Amino acid sequence: MVKFELPQDQEKVLGRKPWMLFDHYLAVRMWVSDFVASEVKIESTLVWIRFPCLGMEYYDEIFSWHL
């Protein structure tokens, strides 16, 4: 739990996504009193996909959206 003195600092932390801590992704959100971690639904996540030896003709954004 973190308490911020300046609203700008809070906005910066909550607005920057995703956070990485020791090579692990960290989800940050506003505190709520009835928070139950096992019931949280993650709607999206950022992933890095590597395709070794991918041909240059596939280095186009339109192809990556169809994977």
pLDDT tens figures, 20-63:
889 888 878 888 889 898 998 888 777 778 888 888 777 776 66
pTM, 2 dp = 0.44
Is the confidence at residue 67, as pLDDT, over 70? no
Could you tell me the pLDDT band of residue 65, with boundaries at 50, 70 and 90? low
- Nearest to residue 18, comparing CAs of 42, 45, 49? 45
- Spatial distance between the Cα atoms of 67 and 57, rounded to a whole number of angstroms: 15
**Cβ(42)–Cβ(27) under 8 Å?**
yes
Using the Cα atoms of residue 39, residue 41, residue 45 and residue 50 in order, give the sign of their dihedral.
positive
Assign 59 to helix, strand or coil: coil
22 backbone φψ class: left, alpha, beta (φ>0; ψ -120 to 50): left
